Amino acid sequence: MRSTRTRLVAASLMAVTAITLSACSGGAAGSTDTSASSGLTVGSTDLAAAGCPAKVVIQTDWNPEAEHGHLYELLGKDHTVDPGNKTVSGPLMSKGEYTGVDVEIRAGGPAIGFQSVSSQMYTDTSITLGYVVTDEAIQNSESLPTTAVFAPLDKSPLMIMWDPATYPDAKTIPDVVKAGATVRYFGGYTYMEYLKETGVIPESQVDGGYDGTPANFVAAGGKDAQQGYASAEPYIYQNEVSAWGKPVKYQLIHDLGYQPYISAISVRSGELQSLSPCLKALVPVLQQAEVDYYADPAAANSLILDLVDQYATGWVYSQGVADYSVKTQLDEGLASNGDNGTIGDFDTSRVSDLLSKVTPIFEKQGTAPKQGLTADDLVTNEFIDPSIGLGK
């Protein structure tokens, strides 16, 4: 039976020992003569002139997938794959034009030993930007501080799913719990601690033994509910898990009031000021890449599927899942302009709300956030171009 998405962000939600390393971004700023892009003509956006590193290194949190499509949109046809290190690099492109620097996109999850991206960013300071979930940033704010500059997803795809045949009247997670379902999840996720503490799911009805495979869900015959991603598992279970082969229903964790920004593009907080000139030019490029990806995801998805094959981590990803993911991201508002017509910006009141919800949890776990931490330490809209949005 094929393995489904096993993002294992749980590893990033455990206590992290402080790492005392000097924080410096990789690459020489302002250099245009890079190996992959030598001889190309710089277009209307010159990231080298803006002070960006000659190679902008971006650390993702998982294998290549459609939720990361906005990053792979940055690459043109002239790119190089390193299957051993699970990276792809090439000239950083924007709207078909060269920007004067290269980009390297690194796989996460199994490629980095399931370390948190925050930890990886402080271990390897050649990384310029990394995917960091807001609750991870809060928990690691004392030892591994990061500040998010761009939110590719407005809502987290994290959800709980169930069998509609077993629970025909259930429309929400509380409905399924009230009907007696056990909820299986990756042990260590903070959202579940929040749901338990607020009484949404009793301790007696949770099972932290989810291993990323469908085996236990199938064996339970529909009696159990299970964690998953709205942009993947519903398609996989109906179309690619032959032992199940039927629809599931789900509700987003976001709908229960637990609302981190997942995969938020972040920098080491101590470098925010020095990287500001670069970020002022680069973040709008990231915004535009996301708009362009959702307008026509075919090329980036083709690259994603090729990379999954070449990286050969044992994870399976199909064209069907990629297509379903893009549609679901848009239909569910996972990727959206929010309420202001701008892609990629942060609602700081939402971040403050999450901070208030998870701080007692982390204090109880012995990983208290930095004293006096605020939303402005965790996210910034300083570099966002408000004119860039989906459908514009």
- Are domains 9-155+261-378 and 158-256 of this chain identical in fold? yes
pLDDT at 18: 34
Topology (CATH) of 9-155+261-378: D-Maltodextrin-Binding Protein; domain 2 (3.40.190)
Q: Which pLDDT tens digit goes with each residue over 247-275?
A: 999 999 999 999 999 999 999 999 999 99
Question: For the residues of 315-366, what is the DSSP string, one character each?
Answer: ----HHHHHHHHHHHHHTTSSS-TTTT-SS---HHHHHHHHHHHHHHHHHHT
**Quick one: how far is CA 237 from the chain centroid?**
22
pLDDT digits (tens, 9 = 90+) for 122-136: 999 999 999 999 999
Task: Reply yes or no on whether the pLDDT at 361 is more than 80.
Answer: yes
Q: So what's the pLDDT on residue 38? A: 62
Query: Beta 129-132 vs 158-162: how paired, if at all?
Result: unpaired
Residues 6+ apart with CB under 8 A from 282: 47, 50, 52, 56, 383
CATH architecture of 158-256: 3-Layer(aba) Sandwich (3.40)
User: How far is Cα 135 from Cα 88, in angstroms, rounded to an integer?
Assistant: 28
Nearest to 73 by CA among 53, 54, 58: 58
Bridge partners of residue 91, in order along the sequence = 102
pLDDT category at 39 given cuts 50, 70, 90 is confident
